[in-house]
Amino acid sequence: MKRRVVITGMGAITPLGVGLDRNWERICKGESGICRITNFDPSPFPCQIAGEIHDFNPVDFIDAKFAKRMDTFIQYAVATAMMAVEDSGLKMGNADAHRMGVFIGTVWGGIPAYDRGLKVLEEKGYKKISPFLIPSAIPNLAASQVAIHLKATGPNACSADACAAGAHAIGGSLKIIQRGDADVMIAGGAENITTPLILAALCNIKALSCRNQEPKKASRPFDRDRDGFILSEGAGLLVLEELNHALSRNARIYAEIGGYGMTSDAYHIVSPHPEGIEAARCMQIALDDAEIHLEEVDYINAHGTSTVYNDRSETLAIKKVFGKHAYNLAISSNKSMIGHLMGASGGVEAVFTVLTIYNGTVPPTINYENPDPDCDLNYIPNVAEKREVRAALSNSFGFGGVNGSILFKAFSG
C-alpha cells in the first residue's frame, strides 16, 4: 500500500500579485499580468514585454539583513514557503524537523546576481566581489534557505530540469513521502530571470512573442495567431503531507496528489517532439501511478506556452492518451495570464490546479479568439467555468525534451 499524500497548504507569487487569494481571484477573472518591461530599457529587443512582479517587498517576510544576501528568486521562494506553511497551519511543534523536507525547482538560479557581480568585476576588480555572491545565486540555495528559515532538516533538493523543474520537485516530493523518508515536503518552483541577457537569448531562439503593442493579448495559447511565450517570474509552493500526519492535526485538505510521470522526448534541444509521443506517455504514467481511469479525469492544466509547436504537440499528446474523452475534458493554460515562469511554472500551475479541484472553478485560457484547426479541444476560452473536477493533470514540458505530469484528485476519506 502506498502512503497517501495530500495538499494542506499553498503559496504563490506571480505577475498577478502576492498571495494565494489575490492570485486565485484574478486568474478566475481572466486578468493578465503581462506588461512592458520596467526592470531595464527593453527598447533594443524584439520582445519588450514580460510578466514582472511589482508588489513584492521581501522585508514583509524576511529580515532585511538576510534578504540582502538573497537573489530575488530565493526571496520569492522563502516568502512563498512561509505563506504556504502558514496556510497549512503547520508548526514545528507538530512536525518533527527531520521529517520535514524541501524540494524546489529553478532553471538558472540567480542570474541577476551574476550579472551584477560581473559588472563589479569588470569595473572594480575581483576584490570587490561580494563573498555572498555564490550563496545568493546558486540554484539549490532556494531550497536551502527555505529549510534554514523553517528549520527543516529532512530531505533537501533542487531540480533544474528546465520548464519541468517545479513539476519534478513536486513529483519527487510525492515519492519521498510515499517511501517513508519524510512526512512533510515543501515543494514547487521559484524563478527570476527577466534580464537583458536571458531576454536576448530567448529572442534569438525566436521563442518569445513580439506583440509589444498589446502586452495583455500577447500570450494566447492554442490560438491560431500565437507567436511565442512571455517570460515571467515568481514562485509557487505546496505543502505535501502524509495523510495520517495531516489528519492527526485536523489539517484542512485541499486535494490529494496521487500520481507522477516523467519522460524524455530524446528528440531536440529546444523543440518538443511533433507527435507528442513521450508527453503522452508521461501523462499515462501519472494516470497509472494514481490508479485513475482516464474517464475520471475532468481537467488538464496544460503546459500551453503559446508557441506554435508546443500547443500543437500537447494537443496531439492529450488525444493519444484520452482518445474520445479528450473532447470531454476542460483544458486551460494559466500562461495566457501569467506568462511562462520557467522553472517556477510547474509549481504555480500545480497550485492553480489544486485550487481548481477545491473550488470547482476552471480558470480560462484568455486571448483565445481564432481557433487553430490543429488545436481543436475545449480550452475554456476567455471565461472561467464552474465545473466539478474529480481529477486533474498538471503538465510541464521543457527544453531538452523533459516532461513532467502530476495527477491531483479531489480528497475523499
Cα separation, 97 vs 60, whole angstroms = 25
Domain C-terminal end among 248, 273, 300: 248
Expressed as residue numbers, the domain containing 210 is 5-248
Same domain (yes/no): 276, 181: no
Indicate whether 79 and 159 sit together in one domain: yes
Give yes or no for residue 170 having a pLDDT over 80. Answer: yes
- Contact between 357 and 255 under an 8 Å Cβ cutoff? The reply is yes
Burial 49-87 (b: 16+ CB within 10 A, else e): bbbbbeebebeebbeeebbebbbbbbbbbbbbbbbbbeb
Q: Is residue 297, in this structure, part of any structural domain at all?
A: yes
* Residue 354 and residue 210 share a domain: no
CATH number at residue 235: 3.40.47.10
Q: What span, in angstroms and rounded, lies between the C-alpha atoms of 268 and 1?
A: 38
- For 250-271, b where at least 16 C-beta lie within 10 A, e where not — what string? ebebbbbbbbbbbbebeeeeee
User: Exactly one of 163, 203, 282, 375 is catalytic; which is it?
Assistant: 163
Based on the domain organization, do 185 and 54 belong to the same domain? yes
Q: What is the pLDDT of residue 93?
A: 59
Active site residue 245: no
Tell me if residue 340 is catalytic: yes
SS3 227: coil
Residue 33 in domain: yes
Q: Looking at per-residue confidence, does 1 or 235 come out higher?
A: 235
Domain boundary among the residues 225, 248, 271 is at 248
Q: Which of 149, 245, 273, 340 is catalytic?
A: 340
**Predicted local distance difference test score (pLDDT) of residue 1:** 79
**CA neighbor of 135 nearest in space, from 61, 69, 77:** 69
User: Into how many domains does the chain fold?
Assistant: 2
> Which one is catalytic: 47, 282, 303, 375?
303
Tally of CB atoms within 10 A around 285: 18
Judged by DSSP in three states, 238 sits in strand
- pLDDT (tens digit per residue) in 313-363: 999 999 999 999 999 999 999 999 999 999 999 999 999 999 999 999 999
Question: Is the same domain home to 274 and 179?
Answer: no
Query: Is 254 part of any domain?
Result: no
**55 is a domain residue:** yes
Would you call 268 a catalytic residue per the annotation?
Answer: no
Same domain, 206 and 91: yes
Whether 277 and 194 map to the same domain: the answer is no
Q: Given 248, 272, 300, which residue is the final one in a domain?
A: 248
Q: Are residues 268 and 337 in the same domain?
A: yes
Residue 256 phi/psi, 5-degree rounding, is -110, 140
